[in-house]
Amino acid sequence: MMNGDANYPLRDPLSQDDPEVYAIIRREKDRQFRGLEMIASENYTSRAVNDCLSSCLTNKYSEGMVGQRYYGGNEHIDEIETLCKERCLKAFGLDPEKWGVNVQPYSGSPANFAVYTALVEPHGRIMGLDLPDGGHLTHGFYTATKKVSATSIFFESMPYKINLSTELIDYDQLQDNARLFKPRMIIAGVSCYPRHLDYARFRQICDENGSLLMADMSHVSGLVATGLTSNPFEHCDVVTTTTHKTLRGPRSGVIFYRRGQKGVDKTGQPIMYDYEDKINQAVFPGLQGGPHNHQIAGVAVAMRQAADPTFKEYQQQVIKNAQALASGLKEAGYRIVTGGTDNHLVWVNMKSVGLSGGKAEKILEDVSIACNKNTVPGDKSALNPSGIRLGTPALTTRNMKENDIATVVKFIDEAFKIAIDVQTKSGPKLVDFKKVLKEEEFETRVVSLRNQVEAFARKFPIPGLDEL
């Protein structure tokens, strides 16, 4: 405090006001620089997006829609939200007469829940890809003993599956089951699936059963915006997305819905889509309070960036890098689920080299490569999965190209070789594996590899972040 001014400490930068929190953030920033970020759902936002996230917009409450707020002082918040909505439609080439958008969901899970709340009656039926097969929790996940996701508590969920021989979505089985289950909504969306989705087939199955079709394009929205994967807007009623994965914006969620005329009835009268009010009201006041305006500003910036031609070059490189990663790992003897990738992620089945997904994730983490363990087709439990999921969006933002990915493949292969040697000594239990990993002969190999990974990673700047 200075000169009796009680507000003075509020002007201190974080480093002075709260050195403890500042130090943790510095350590995380250092981790981001020295490591290889290969979690398929992560990316690095731009400086401009980061500027929005730390802006004064976080101070403002603005419940309601543009021009109809429950609090005063929202003239500039209205400008931001209006601009964000315009840019969302533009980024995906949508006609505002035919599509509307709600940009207030805090992230992807609330966005999905809002759509179900709006368009599926309580205990109405939904069908999404099963989580162990590459689906997402919010597409209705439950197990034999537990309704895990609220989307399986409040709605009746029947999953569809991967065909175990092709490792692709089993559209035929989905069709058979949908004929019996008659879902109110089918969800076309994935959390771990490296192939293009067949939205036309989903639409056909929906039309047979009077079902709505929702796409959750969170993982691939950057590829959709640039025309590099199949386009959900051609066939779906509703499309949700997070904005921080391939799209490279802030953490947030967006719901697109069809609007305007749907068709004509038997008497020639127009039939209109009725999703807009239902979805807007489900978001607020149904599920949320005040929108996070700093995030909405960040989404506006990211959507503008997504419409820039350079964004297509970036997404093309994301795919080339993922394909280089898949083929490099394959050549090194690893089994790639579906045999390759069309998008930003590579799904690796570790069974063929005798490592669990948990051990693969652990050894990579120890050498500063972040990824996540993941179920593979045929796995029974999400708790002890047999594979890992790797992605290239973040490395590509650091300007890595295929030759850099070849180096990354060598690091990953070397890490797995260490893990296999450790397991030979430790046996299969993860707890024993972790103990043996700390023994000097293995620790020396891990440290040496980690030093190489970190020296390599530090050569690649992160565009939105200054070095420490």
Task: Enumerate binding residues for ligand DSN (CB under 6 A).
Answer: 41, 108, 136, 191
Nearer CB in complex with ligand DSN: 327/397: 397
Active-site hit among 139, 235, 244, 294: 244
Q: Measuring CA to CA, which residue among 339, 329, 373 is closest to residue 165?
A: 339
Nearer CB in complex with ligand DSN: 152/191: 191
Distance (Å, whole) CA 166 – CA 92: 31
Report, in Å, the least distance between residue 265 CB and ligand DSN: 40
Residue with the CB atom nearest ligand DSN in the bound state: 41
Nearer CB in complex with ligand DSN: 39/406: 39
The tokens describing 30, both together, are 């250092």
Q: Measuring CA to CA, which residue among 285, 216, 217, 283 is closest to residue 247?
A: 217
Nearer CB in complex with ligand DSN: 344/362: 344
Nearer CB in complex with ligand DSN: 242/426: 242
Report, in Å, the least distance between residue 85 CB and ligand DSN: 23
φ, ψ for residue 378, nearest 5 deg: 100, -20
Distance (Å, whole) CA 239 – CA 221: 10
Report, in Å, the least distance between residue 73 CB and ligand DSN: 34
Active-site hit among 192, 206, 236, 371: 192
Kindly give, in sequence order, each residue whose CB lies less than 8 Å from that of residue 437, ignoring residues fewer than 6 positions away. Answer: 362, 363, 366, 422, 426, 443, 446
Nearer CB in complex with ligand DSN: 362/389: 389
Number of helical H runs and strand E runs in the chain:
17, 17
Report, in Å, the least distance between residue 110 CB and ligand DSN: 11
* Annotation says 192 is catalytic: yes
Nearer CB in complex with ligand DSN: 83/214: 214
Provide long-range contacts, Cβ within 8 A and 24+ apart, for 460-463. Answer: 460/395, 460/398, 460/399, 460/400, 460/404, 461/398, 461/399, 462/32, 462/33, 462/44, 462/397, 462/398, 463/44, 463/46, 463/47, 463/397, 463/398
Whether 328 contacts 409, CB under 8 Å:
yes
Nearer CB in complex with ligand DSN: 370/406: 370
Whether 160 contacts 168, CB under 8 Å:
no
Rg (CA), the chain: 23
Report, in Å, the least distance between residue 41 CB and ligand DSN: 3
Report, in Å, the least distance between residue 40 CB and ligand DSN: 7
Distance (Å, whole) CA 184 – CA 182: 7
Report, in Å, the least distance between residue 108 CB and ligand DSN: 6
The tokens describing 196, both together, are 């293009």
Which ranges of 108-246 would DSSP assign to H, the alpha helix? Answer: 108-119, 150-153, 171-181, 199-209, 221-225
Report, in Å, the least distance between residue 374 CB and ligand DSN: 9
Whether 190 contacts 160, CB under 8 Å:
no
DSSP code, position 66: T
Residue type for 252, please? S
Reported residue count of the chain is: 468
- Catalytic residue ranges: 192, 244
